[in-house]
């Protein structure tokens, strides 16, 4: 575990300050669009209805995910837009981020599985948190992905 002290903040889009929203969207665009050289609609219309989990050190944004509520009575919650700031990589924040996101889903949507669309090279990382591959590999924005599901504990 890294020695990074962080706070967890989970809130809806309307509850983020303009500066907090700007920092989160800038980090996502810097990583998903610029760094990964992937032109895609980062602003996809899902953020207004999602919850945004952020790891913060004071006011500095370290990492974030987007949590989407289940869409039907037995459907999964969804974790997406998993991103760690390039300035804070190598500090095991990805693991912290996933543990906090899974815990938040458990609190917010108890008794629900959790789904995500993973870049294929991260399959083992997500599997270490109990996610199982449930699809064949496919291209999303020219990047190989797989669908993964974290079933309810037996």
Q: pLDDT digit string (tens) for 82-136?
A: 999 999 988 989 999 999 999 999 999 999 999 999 999 999 999 999 999 999 9
Q: What does the pLDDT look like over 26-78, one tens digit per residue?
A: 999 999 888 888 777 788 889 999 999 999 999 999 999 999 999 998 899 99
**pLDDT confidence of residue 141:** 81
Q: Residue 122 in contact with residue 81, Cβ under 8 Å?
A: no
Q: What pLDDT does residue 153 have?
A: 67
Q: What is the pLDDT of residue 27?
A: 93
pLDDT at 1: 45
Q: Could you tell me which CATH class the domain 7-150 is placed in?
A: alpha beta
Q: How far is CA 136 from CA 32, 59, 117, 146, 151, in A?
A: 22, 40, 11, 6, 18
Residue 32 near residue 83 (C-beta atoms within 8 A): yes
Helix (H, G, I), strand (E, B) or coil at 118: strand
pLDDT of residue 71: 93
């Amino acid at each position: 575990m890294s020695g990074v002290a962080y706070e967890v903040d989970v809130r809806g889009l309307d509850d983020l300050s303009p500066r907090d929203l700007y920092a989160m969207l800038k980090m996502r665009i810097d990583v998903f669009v610029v760094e990964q050289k992937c032109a895609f609609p980062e602003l996809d219309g899902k953020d207004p209805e999602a919850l945004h989990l952020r790891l913060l050190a004071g006011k500095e944004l370290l990492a974030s995910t987007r949590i989407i509520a289940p869409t039907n009575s037995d459907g999964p919650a969804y974790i997406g837009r998993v991103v760690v700031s390039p300035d804070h990589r190598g500090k095991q924040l990805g693991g912290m981020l996933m543990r906090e996101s899974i815990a938040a889903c458990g609190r917010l949507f108890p008794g629900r599985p959790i789904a995500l669309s993973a870049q294929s090279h991260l399959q083992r990382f997500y599997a270490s948190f109990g996610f199982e591959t449930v699809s064949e590999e496919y291209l999303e924005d020219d990047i190989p992905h797989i669908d993964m599901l974290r079933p309810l504990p037996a």
